[in-house]
Amino acid sequence: MRTDAFALRHIGPRESDLQHMFNTIGVESMDQLIYETIPDDIRLKKDLELDAPMTEYEYLTHIQELGKKNKVFKSYIGLGYHPTIVPAVIQRNVFENPGWYTAYTPYQAEIAQGRLEAILNFQTTIIELTGMEIANASLLDEGTAAAEAMALLFDVRSRDQKKNNANKFFVSEEILPQTLSVLQTRSTPKGIELVVGNHENFDFSSDFFGAILQYPGKFGQVNDYTKFIATANSKEIKVAVAADILSLVKLTPPGEMGAAVVVGTTQRFGIPMGYGGPHAAYFATKEEYKRSMPGRIIGVTIDANGNRALRMALGTREQHIKREKATSNICTAQVLLAVMAGMYAVYHGPKGLKYIANKVHASAVTLADALNKLGVYNTNTAFFDTISVKADASKVKVVAEKQEVNFFYVDGETISISVNETTSVADINQVISIFAEATGKDTFTVSELASTTNFPSSLERTSSFLKHDVFNNHHSESQLMRYIKKLERKDLSLNHSMISLGSCTMKLNAAAEMLPLSMANWNSIHPFAPIEQAEGYQIMLKKLEHQLNVVTGFAGTTLQPNSGAQGEYAGLMAIRAYHLSRGDDHRNVCLIPSSAHGTNPASAAMAGMEIIVTKTMENGNIDVEDLRARAIEYKDRLSCLMVTYPSTHGVFESAIIEITDLIHENGGLVYMDGANMNAQVGLTNPATIGADVCHLNLHKTFAIPHGGGGPGVGPICVNEKLVPFLPTNPIIPTGGNQAITAISAAPYGSALVCLISYGYITMLGAEGLKKSTQFAILNANYMKARLEEHYPVLYSGEMGRAAHEMILDCRAFKQQGIEVTDIAKRLMDYGFHAPTVSFPVAGTLMVEPTESEDLAELDRFCDALISIRKEIATVTADNHNTVLHNAPHTLAMLTADTWNFPYTREQAAYPLDYISDNKFWPSVRRVDDAYGDRNLVCSCAPIEAYM
């Protein structure tokens, strides 16, 4: 056994297991299985050309050395990104804890109550600081949250505004530059006209439907928007405000000014800058817009006993479920980071947040007063943490960088300086000395912070916030550590058992991949730092782009998209730009098979495309003849085909090259959804099947953890004809020579977590990546062989094989009164998270084991499902008091004095022997979604409820 081979640790089954698995499947070798699974004409003819794999020790040494090439300067750049203090108790117990970072999206509420409570705390923090009525569970970054606000306001226009095509959206010139770039990207295909200007000169004409303001402005100016918003509201122009979350501790909340939407980032609530992400954006609005609000919402409901329980609210409202009628394609959040930001609020409480905000503001006032004495004058009449001063920028920059300090240089004579939570009196004195040297003045020092306030008293916050018990009881480290652990114990994550979610690929997130995220050389870099200060990042990101090019067979990659859905949108926008560059602005038809993910049509709609749905055959494959007919019918307007490969039904369709050729012959390009890339890497690739662009879910195939619903990264890889159109950034240029505007706020998206995928590929190498794919296919077909005697498998390839996932058909059990949900909930009693429920076919389970799971774990899961099948056999349609209908069973039920069920306590809690060794107890009984939707509550209960 080669103990230093990373592949040995990543891949679950041992060599000694293989013959048993082959016998069960009915093949003689791995080669035979792969031959029977993947069409031979799309198999790669040679191995991927990647560097030899590193051991874990070699990789960690390498990444530490590479990190030393990053220069961690004192950062006063601002623009929405700030140095923060990550409380160690949160770093150790959440950020570095697999109990939190390996969890899945909380679709199964009964085994996710801890995460749900943590997100409810986050939502409460946002609602109360913004002064709004409802908030979601986070979005991807501030720029895209602002774009979602614009889309919402466009969607909720009045009947007259829609009739008269009111399509103008006012953008304050104070907006962050990266936000403006994202707004430009999003507005164009939707037919929204952006008008950028000074809010004081806005004419409020009837062709405007909305406006967005920055609070404070990009270079620190604090404006009172009360009058602007009141006038806008009187003209039916709804206003969004992008607000600094920490400033709202001191400043009047936008909600109290009458804003319709408030967005921003919670990065400065204890999240490292990480060269741009991941960070949890926030989105808060009025309750009347709840069904148009993007993303996920956590709500309060009751369980089967009438006890309080939490769950994802308004599930059918999720944007991507609306398909082409969606106003957003977002189907994720930044849950891990939202949990951290929420815990930051819990740890500090209202008094602690006030202390931090007061200190930040006092630091800015002290610095402004000191520079004023030097003759360096601040141009902001009111500010919170950022001052804008006049000086010779070139002289200041030379002195500052010599002292390892970064400011933001607006132009040749304007410098913006943002202070932050980490800023000390010593730091202020260093800044004074820099300006003194640059201006040829004598320096001096300050010894204490100013006690004055530098904004109008009319803007001083008077309303209280965070009065709830949870924000006032956990201020010692012992208290918070125990609170975090209490919530963690309620959640089932990968550190407990396998999570076999079809289409979601819940593989191992190896510790060696995760460790570098805590290193200061990696997590403390501002995304707009001069590029020469981020040499380590530039080397790593370019190498990762190259690795992904090799894996996909393509010529170029952008890492900017922050999720798979954003990747879809980025790919379609690149295709759109390609057609426009050729004068083919009429090419706007997107063909999408009916089996596609809901995000596909939603993304195409956002990209301004006309969606034509093509048929799927009974065996689950694309109906090639119907596709041919549609491609020919629309050949003069055909933009692209969106195809998932292997298919959403878990099959490698043998007609794929015929399909892609058909699209190209009729003038279109092929977008491949990379959700199922885990079955391709090293064996085939998107270029080989004829695609022009694909997105990759780095949080699936390339080992970034799901974090309870995020972070995710969805880079797109493209062929040579699309390379020129990869997206740029207004501050740090990226992308091609005909780049589209920004897809997300930071130049390289969530750069920090790209280290994970870089580590995964670097430690596996070409052979390890190929083996991972082979074992993903092996594990899936082993489970298929064990389960198909008990559950019909809905689709399989031409030789009877599954790809890396399969669909178990549970629809026949309806005759006995058993729904697929009953099976999902019963699996919790066996210690497992349910597979994907009712997608892509209602009444089914989609199972994907991943290559990381060992044979014993595969067998435990199969044994559980087989045992449940036997339980189903004993159920009659007229009896709903069964072990399945009552699942999951809680510890409170098992230890109650009375037991009024027609089966034993042992049958309920310990149906198989292995369970007693490691029993996981759901913390609530089955939740009542309908009750929660009828009585929508999306924040912590008022303090009175605790009294």
- The stretch 814-823 carries a mean pLDDT of 97
Q: State the average pLDDT for the chain.
A: 96
Q: Which amino acid is at 732?
A: I
Does position 946 have pLDDT exceeding 60, yes or no? no
Label residue 820 by pLDDT band (50, 70, 90): very high
CA 215, 220, 221 angle in degrees (round to 5)? 70
Taking the mean position of all CA atoms in its chain, how far away is CA 299? 20
Nearest to 602 by CA among 283, 57, 151: 151
Label residue 906 by pLDDT band (50, 70, 90): very high
Label residue 620 by pLDDT band (50, 70, 90): confident
Nearest to 695 by CA among 521, 560, 861: 560
Q: Is the pTM of this model over 0.85?
A: yes
Label residue 325 by pLDDT band (50, 70, 90): confident
Nearest to 845 by CA among 871, 809, 794, 814: 809
d(CA 385, CA 917): 54
pLDDT in tens, 202-243: 999 999 999 999 999 999 999 999 999 999 999 999 999 999
Label residue 594 by pLDDT band (50, 70, 90): confident
Nearest to 856 by CA among 846, 848, 864: 864
d(CA 356, CA 363): 11
d(CA 425, CA 389): 19
Sign of CA dihedral 77, 82, 88, 92: negative
Does position 940 have pLDDT exceeding 90, yes or no? no
Label residue 947 by pLDDT band (50, 70, 90): very low
d(CA 787, CA 342): 42
Q: Where are the beta strands (DSSP E) in 64-159?
A: 74-75, 134-135
Label residue 596 by pLDDT band (50, 70, 90): confident
Give the DSSP letter of residue 99.
H
d(CA 827, CA 185): 44
pLDDT in tens, 44-81: 999 999 999 999 999 999 999 999 999 999 999 999 99
Residues 6+ apart with CB under 8 A from 424: none
Give residue 318's pLDDT.
56
pLDDT in tens, 571-583: 999 999 999 999 9
Q: Dihedral (C-alpha) 181, 185, 188, 189: value to the nearest 10 degrees?
A: -170
- The stretch 811-822 carries a mean pLDDT of 97
Give the DSSP letter of residue 95.
I
3-state helix/strand/coil string of 341-403 = HHHHHHHHHHHHHHHHHHHHHHHHHHHHHHHHHCCCCECCCCECCEEEEECCHHHHHHHHHHC
- The stretch 596-607 carries a mean pLDDT of 87
Please give the residue that has the higher pLDDT: either 670 or 618.
Answer: 670
d(CA 191, CA 182): 15
Label residue 611 by pLDDT band (50, 70, 90): very high
Does position 716 have pLDDT exceeding 60, yes or no? yes
Residues 6+ apart with CB under 8 A from 478: none
Q: Are 39 and 658 in contact (CB under 8 A)?
A: no
Does position 319 have pLDDT exceeding 60, yes or no? no
Q: Strand 281-285's sheet: what is its strand order?
A: 134-135, 281-285, 261-265, 238-243, 208-215, 168-172, 193-197
Give residue 321's pLDDT.
63
What percent of the chain has pLDDT above 70? 98
Give residue 315's pLDDT.
67
pLDDT in tens, 413-446: 999 999 999 999 999 999 999 999 999 999 999 9
Give residue 320's pLDDT.
56
What percent of the chain has pLDDT above 90? 93
d(CA 850, CA 780): 7
Give residue 644's pLDDT.
94
Taken as a whole, the chain contains a residue count of 947
